[in-house]
């Protein structure tokens, strides 16, 4: 499985083309739009979310509610495009029309792709960089993740996410009995936090940052249950599934770190306090007595829940802009301001959930026969029986 995305933040639409889905998999626009709606929620979101009503349009690869095995094309239109047709249009402009187009952006924002992207592609107008490097692109990554979540659900694999920390406020009371409970409580929270006391403090921290023209980041956690053991590989570095998940997490805009299980805490513990003891019983087969390694050993799933966390830095677009340098005059200026959120951690949890789901689904499709959905289901079930009796 693979997908590409295309589109600019204020262009006419965002597009993704997904290849490698099994034929015969049930999929509707509703499956995707539910996830797109989740991405737009969260305390701290900016005005853009009031403008857009993200809805996916299925353009190919699905007939009468089932995948065909051919590429699936999904489109999400940008409602704000009507205000940007001259600024972001694809057709050449003449001199008279050029005056109506906003000035070039020559003041790169610290923490953004602006300057580096300009250097790489030779763009003197930073809008050519920031329109694509915008987190708006994650809209169709969530759409692709929604497709992956549907595939995983048909295999008995569930994925959910929640927020552990925002702006230094940490959630302590995060216990839950099931992923269903986690999902319900997370969805009910404006910041996707399970700790109601921490939730209030997080919201206040977001409001304070916004009032100060600043932004704050945080930590999200994604959990997947039902993954069969042995998915991934130890034989080559680029086939290790936890490595692919790590790459997926840090590929999300503003994410700067990732950990599995107890993560960096492992550096402070003895080996006897880190590794998970193996046990077996007739009902479960092999299992681990603990899950400190987050469901991975040797680059492969071990049958325990996959637990991965990502660290999101504060959004670099500030209403209290930092100092930068104009690339034309080389004079210092305060950086250009683009419309932004004061905190996007709750929404980023949905994006993280999507990219984790994609990598898990992709790994399963790679490892098992997957031209047909019914055959994939049978293949995974047969492997589960084999692993239990091994």
Please report, in range form, the residues annotated as the binding site for NADP(+): 39, 45
| Whole-angstrom distance, CA of residue 370 vs CA of residue 107 | 49
The tokens of 107 are what?
Answer: 């003041």
- Which among 131, 143, 353 has a CA at the least distance from the CA of 248? 353
CB neighbour list of residue 121: distance below 8 Å, 6 or more residues apart: 128, 129
The secondary structure element, H or E, covering residue 248 is helix 241-250
Q: What distances in angstroms separate CA 59 from CA 15, 19, 362, one per listed residue?
A: 10, 13, 22
Helices (H), 134-195: 138-154, 179-188
Q: Which residues pair with 307 in a beta bridge?
A: 223
Rg (CA), the chain: 22
The tokens of 103 are what?
Answer: 């000035």
Binding site per annotation, positions: 39, 45, 132-134, 253-254, 298, 313-317, 339
Q: Residue for token digits 């499709």?
A: 365
Burial class (CB in 10 A: 0-12, 13-18, 19+), 66: middle
Binding site per annotation, positions for FMN: 132-134, 253-254, 298, 313-317, 339
Helix (H, G, I), strand (E, B) or coil at 215: coil
Burial class (CB in 10 A: 0-12, 13-18, 19+), 214: middle
């Amino acid at each position: 499985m693979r997908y590409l995305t295309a589109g600019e933040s204020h262009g006419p639409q965002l597009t993704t083309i997904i290849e490698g889905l099994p034929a015969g998999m049930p999929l509707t626009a509703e499956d995707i739009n539910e996830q797109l709606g989740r991405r737009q929620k969260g305390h701290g979101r900016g005005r853009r979310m009031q403008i857009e009503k993200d809805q996916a349009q299925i353009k190919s690869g699905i007939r009468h509610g089932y995948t065909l095995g051919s590429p699936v094309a999904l489109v999400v239109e940008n409602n704000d495009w009507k205000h940007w047709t001259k600024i972001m249009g694809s057709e050449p402009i003449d001199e008279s029309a050029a005056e109506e187009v906003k000035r070039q952006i020559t003041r790169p924002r610290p923490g953004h792709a602006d300057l580096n992207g300009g250097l790489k592609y030779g763009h003197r107008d930073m809008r050519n960089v920031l329109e694509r490097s915008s987190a708006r692109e994650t809209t169709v990554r969530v759409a692709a993740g929604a497709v992956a979540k549907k595939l995983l659900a048909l295999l008995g694999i569930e994925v959910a996410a929640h927020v552990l920390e925002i702006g230094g406020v940490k959630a302590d009371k995060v216990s839950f009995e099931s992923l269903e409970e986690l999902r319900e409580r997370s969805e009910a929270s404006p910041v996707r936090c399970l700790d109601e006391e921490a939730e209030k403090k997080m919201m206040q921290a977001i409001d304070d940052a916004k009032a100060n023209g600043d932004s704050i980041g945080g930590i999200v956690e994604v959990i997947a249950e039902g993954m069969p053991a042995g998915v991934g590989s130890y034989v080559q570095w680029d086939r290790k599934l936890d490595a692919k998940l790590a790459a997926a997490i840090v590929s999300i805009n503003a994410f700067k770190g990732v950990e599995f299980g107890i993560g960096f805490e492992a550096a402070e513990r003895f080996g006897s306090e880190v590794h998970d003891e193996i046990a077996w019983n007739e009902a479960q087969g092999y299992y681990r007595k603990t899950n400190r390694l987050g469901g991975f050993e040797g680059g492969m799933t071990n049958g325990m829940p996959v637990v991965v966390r990502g660290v999101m830095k504060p959004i670099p677009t500030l209403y209290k802009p930092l100092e930068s340098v104009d690339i034309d005059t080389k004079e210092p200026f305060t950086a250009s301001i683009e419309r932004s959120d004061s905190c996007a951690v709750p929404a980023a949890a949905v994006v993280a959930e999507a990219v984790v789901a994609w990598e898990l689904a992709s790994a399963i499709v790679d490892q098992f026969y997957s031209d047909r959905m019914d055959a994939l289901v049978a293949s995974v079930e047969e492997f589960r029986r084999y692993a239990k009796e091994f």
